[in-house]
A and B are shown apart, each in its own frame.
Chain A
Amino acid sequence: MFAIEASGVTKVYRRFSNRRQFATLKSALLRGTVFRDLHPAGTFAAVRDVSFKVPQGTTYGIIGRNGSGKSTMLKLVAGITKPTEGTVRVNGRISALIELGAGFHPEISGRENIFINGIMLGLSKREIARRFDEIVEFAELRDFIDAPVKTYSSGMYVRLGFAVAINVDPDVLLVDEVLAVGDEAFTHKCLDKFAEFRRRGKTILLVTHALNLVEKFCDDVLWLDGGGIRGEGDPRRVVSEYITDVAKAEEKDLAARDARERERVSQSVPTAGPAGDAAGAPPEPPADMFKAGEGRWGSREVEIVDVRILGADGAPRHVCQSGEPATIEMTVRARQPIEAVVFGVSMFNADGVCCYGTNTDIEDLEVAGFSGEQKVTFRIKSLDMVEGTYKLDVAAHRVDGYPYDYHRQLYSFRVMSNAKDIGIYRPPHTWEFSAGIGARGRTIEN
């Protein structure tokens, strides 16, 4: 027995062009297009040929990036919009936690709103009266229930909406990213309520970006991408495929951003004459180097022509896994033989905090002079950093600090991690317990 059956569902929205957006009765009459204007012209498929079945009593997750059609799918299941093609069948009473408190009237009290909202969601007056105390209790609004809803804070508003919707006692519960409301305690209460629903054999359709929730709660997962199905099935497998895909997209995004940044810098800083021509005044380094934003300066007697971040497999990337090896590879060029040179690297987190910085001089490496194009490689055995986006400085300068080429935060990379630990540095570690403490779960093996 299936609680939800969607087969071949396609939802096409009208795409508004400028002209059509301001379509008015007058212009429609003048052009004689009254009835044509009631039909879509330019279209856009938000959901494309999606089929899935949700067995009764299971929890089904829908994941996907922004704009992938998740919410549209949920609205189709809820019956709020009708599919352009295909059918959606739902067995049993639906309650949709989509827009909480969407039918509240601000001028009247919470008490009256509970009744009206409940009736809208399909309860009778008597049923609401019976559940009234439970609803108020759940929303934690006992003291304010007779105040007009317009005086509520946004949190109170949403809590009340949630409390009413969840007490409708539906057979099928549709949840759209609503667990973000309320404090920790309220979120736990909501999760408990979901667990109770599951125990009682109700069906839940969950749309969320909280992947850990999906892994923990869902029996099956549907991954939507661009309106179509990308994957379906076991949560762990689908979620990990999804994460890989997101990382790839992020990779592309970071690469594009870096390219734009370098483009901007190379335009604003004219290259300093032919190499060695000291007359071509090198762009001045900023007064306080550590407060400077993105930029590039130096005389370019030694030029860093390319910087690449390589993963464990030696392929260039912008997204790395925490704890895995990483390599920063610089291609440098000296147009004329150069004497001693110092190479440096440092990394900054999103707050601009320097997580690590070093150079060959600090580490007592004497780099002999060179000429032509060469490669400098900075190898990190294990990238022990917490999850986040980092920016990279690379530099070539003289031992006395005179800059040849300084690239300030022109490169970024993202570190991904399974653990959501905090800070800026993750020392390789393990947890150990004496025999008296039992412990289960993943542990970070470093």
Chain B
Amino acid sequence: MEIREMTALTLGCAIKSRQVGVREAVKACLDEIEKKDSTLHAFLETDEKKIYDRVKEVENGIKAGKYTGPLAGVPIAVKDNICTRNRKTTCASRILENFIPSYDAEAVRRIESAGMIVMGKTNMDEFAMGSTSETSAYGITRNPWDTEKVPGGSSGGSCAAVAADEVFAALGSDTGGSIRQPASYCGVVGMKPTYGTVSRYGLIAYASSLDQIGPVGKDVSDCAALLEASAGYDAKDSTSVLRKDLQFTRYLRQDLHGVKIGIPKEYLSEGLDEDVKRSLADAVQLMTKNGAVVEFFTLGLVDYVIPAYYIIASAEASSNLARFDGVKYGYRAEEFEGLHDMYKKTRAEGFGEEVRRRILLGSFVLSSGYYDAYYLKALKVKAMIKKAFDDAFLKYDMLIAPAAPSTAPAVGSSLADPLKMYLSDVYTAGVNLAGLPAISVPCGLDSSGMPVGLQFIGDCFQEKKIIQAAYAYEKIRGEFPKAYGKGVK
């Protein structure tokens, strides 16, 4: 097996037993990046000098017994809204075009202490606002399965990089589906943990009450291992949760016997692509055959998820993004008259259209006279949505759902109709509103050969259940095809 085709855990094992050198693994990634990334554009930055400096450090660290974890020496990518010390972090926005953080995000600190090597920063929708990775100020990312298709978003760069074997795993962030949806479009595994599991310290905030960092991997085991390495209580994030059950790899067991799974009926109604529906049905059949008890039920409130999500996310975004004013970092307009004009011109020139749109909507729903009718209303609906999930978990161990209503759309087909693009988050955003963990696993191909993702949704802090079920499903499903990459050889 070629190095690039290995999973992160296989590679980690091979490095530990000295069958593969750290330098060799890094070289394999750099070769793939060199070969493919001029087409895919999954990366915004890869700095060979910094990478090889780090390789030396990791080689020595492994020798000295400092890095002993299962992913020591494994090259990994980090989404560009996660701060990396002395490495540019732009959020794919012009307003942060030259921002070099003076500190590492806690998740980055953790994966580096586990001996992983950050290969570079991945492209994304600007400030994670978008579902296609096309709102990046630095050009789009293409899907390795078909370069005429988008990789999904906003963690499109991270998912494309893993699907194309440019890197062994990656960190993404998920506010309304931004890990699970692109993982589905790119045929890789992506997971959003329970809110508060991975520290948000150093994750540039979009909607703080919904944002979570999570892993993208070639399989469920890699995701569990990467999550284990990046999760943990952090006093620097006031919403961090102290958990004692963070050994996620312990639950990689092929056992579906007696697992009670619910499928929200509403998820199968209008708007769901036939191929996606068929893949889901096939997966259900396989799981039932292997001992799972699958049942349809009415979750309720599904039509209200996206409106509530966009009010809350935009409101928080308008507040969080107020810090970008041309004073402390990034871009400043060249011509202006006085301080306020500088703010306004800097922000108008520095933010792209989608980001401006959400800041405007957020400012409106929080403004005096409209706060109760919109923002407060959305928080009440959020409470109802949470309750609907709570009720479901009284009956079921987990829920399953498609990760997205369709497979990856064509490049250039989504941005003209933002509302339609927002609706593609219908199966994922509710999970963020309720703070739940969920994992997307490839479950089939549509008629044009594009991957479909199956989402396992767990109750809060029940990663163990969905990791076990997703792992078991992955085993019985068997090997999944790789991205052939029409146009990428």
* Same complex origin of A and B: no
Q: Which B residues contact A (CB, under 8 angstroms)?
A: none
Q: Which A residues contact B (CB, under 8 angstroms)?
A: none
